[in-house]
Amino acid sequence: MKEFNENAYENIRKPVIKGRAEALSLKSPPPKGDVLLELKAFRDFLRDRGYRVTKEREAIAETILRNRDHFDVDELFLSLRTKTPISKASIYRAIPLLIESGVLAEVYLENGHMHYERVYGREHHSHLRCVKCHSILEFSAPELTTIEKRITKQEGFKSEGHKFEIWGLCAACQAEKN
Amino acid sequence: MKEFNENAYENIRKPVIKGRAEALSLKSPPPKGDVLLELKAFRDFLRDRGYRVTKEREAIAETILRNRDHFDVDELFLSLRTKTPISKASIYRAIPLLIESGVLAEVYLENGHMHYERVYGREHHSHLRCVKCHSILEFSAPELTTIEKRITKQEGFKSEGHKFEIWGLCAACQAEKN
DNA sequence: ATCATTGCAAAAGCTTTGCATAAGA
DNA sequence: TCTTATGCAAAGCTTTTGCAATGAT
């Protein structure tokens, strides 16, 4: 076993503070939607790190890679359950690995629990959140990276990522009377 | 009692989704640091809305207005406890009022609990967070507002606020060996 | 054959809430 | 006087964890 993998759980289970994934084997994303390739990359990531490739981890990764971009643990759990028996504990334990591998990212907290999004093979983007209907609109704003660079240089900071979020009322909700 | 205040708790207790405060009586901030004036504005806000001015709410507001910019509920609780008896329940129940009045804002979740910052009388700003030592650096980037306006106009969104955050390693933590 | 991973149930930790009492208006 | 707010303890939730059993290497 590789030495850096001693106490793998110890290292991996620390609370995940929002962090842009530092993909390892996942460094060169395949064309979007190539789930098989993406899954292989995730397996390679596990092996590289000395983690075991289990059917649970594969099922979790595959479900995420095939499904909708935004979700929470419960949705993922229910979605997995229709296909294979799995416990929530395994999902919670897999999430840090998925984040570390660059498959997932935490996006925001709502109603007391975290929401995630699949990031592997997708462009970096920001979110517009409707505070009424909870819908999410995505957008890109390249200037954000420029700002990130300027500020971090100025402060001697080594950046690992940024997040920009706008909240308010979407067009549909403004139109409603109530 | 004012009609809009029926079921005040019902209305106010809903999960607070990050939202820039829409200050009411607090619309024209007094000079920074004028705690007495700020407190008066908070009392006016309570009265305007039909909420009661209690010594607990005053103590909470005063402690926030006099103290450090960033804190969590436990720090606030301990700080209050040295001066006056108070329960955490009252703090949790006061937070939505403080947010609504524009005194406070949620800033980020860390280690499973929310962190807040005093916003009343301060410039809007963004945060640089060190993922290692958890220090926070503040900065301003006016272009963010420009981006916010452009995107929301483009999407027909009615903006209520934005949040920009950069995370990584601060200068001090980069210097450390470990 | 080892030892990481799983599932289960229990524990943890933050936040909310029901209810009786206190206290604003 | 009439309600709202407080305090306490209990409940609620999401997430984490201990442990015995399972399964990957």
Tell me which of B68-82, B94-108, B129-143 is least confident. B129-143
CB contacts, 8 Å: B112 with chain A:
15
Domain contains A143 = yes
Q: Is residue A8 part of a domain?
A: no
Q: Are the Cβ atoms of B165 and A137 closer than 8 angstroms?
A: no
Residue A25 pLDDT > 70: no
CA angle at residue A127 from A126 to A131, to 5 degrees?
A: 160
- CA dist B145 and B156 (Å) reads 16
With H, G, I as helix, E, B as strand and everything else as coil, classify residue A89: helix
Query: Is the pLDDT at A132 greater than 60, yes or no?
Result: yes
Identity of the residue numbered A166:
I
- Identify residue A77 by its one-letter amino acid code: F
pTM equals 0.80
For B83, the domain range is 17-123
Residue given tokens 């969104």 in the structure block: B157
* Residue ranges near strand D (C-beta within 7 Å): A 13, 15-16, 47, 52-55, 72-74, 88-89, 92-93, 95, 111-114; B 1, 6, 8-9, 51-52, 54, 56-57, 85-87, 89-90, 93-94, 112
Average the pLDDT over A7-18 and give the result.
32
Q: Is residue B9 part of a domain?
A: no
Q: Specify whether B128 is located in the same domain as B118.
A: no
Supply φ then ψ for residue A141, to 5 degrees: -145, 95
Residue B4 has pLDDT above 70, yes or no: no
Residues B156 and B168 grouped into a single domain: yes
Spell out which chain A residues touch chain B, with contact meaning CB-CB distance below 8 angstroms. 15, 17-19, 109-112, 128-131, 137, 139, 141, 143-144, 147-148, 150-152, 154-171, 174
Is B177 part of a structural domain of the chain? yes
For residues A71 and A115, the answer to whether their CB atoms sit within 8 Å is: yes
Q: Does A26 score more than 60 pLDDT? A: no
Decide if B21 contacts B14 (C-beta within 8 A): no
Show which of A123, A148, A168 is a domain's final residue. Answer: A123
Residue where a domain stops, chosen among A123, A142, A165: A123
Does a structural domain hold residue B145?
yes
B98 and B39 in a single domain? The answer is yes
Could you tell me which residues come within 8 angstroms of residue A67 by beta carbon, excluding any fewer than 6 positions away?
A79, A118
* CA B80 to chain CA centroid, nearest Å: 17
Q: Based on the domain organization, do B118 and B178 belong to the same domain?
A: no
User: Which CATH number do you get for residue A177?
Assistant: 3.30.1490.190
- DSSP codes, B88-147: HHHHHHHHHHHHHHTSEEEEEEETTEEEEEE-TTS---EEEEETTT--EEEE--THHHHH
User: Whose CA is closest to B117, among B108, B170, B162, A112?
Assistant: B108
Owner of token pair 């460094």: A27
Higher local confidence (pLDDT), B134 or A31: B134
**Percentage with pLDDT > 70 across chain B:** 80
Of A123, A143, A162, the residue that ends a domain is: A123
Total number of domains in chain B: 2
Q: Is B160 helix (H, G, I), strand (E, B) or coil?
A: strand
Band the pLDDT of B178: cuts 50, 70, 90. low
Average pLDDT, integer, range B62-83? 95
In a shared domain, residues A110 and A152: no
Average pLDDT over residues B43-54: 98
Beta strands in chain A (DSSP E): 70-72, 104-110, 113-118, 126-130, 136-139, 158-169
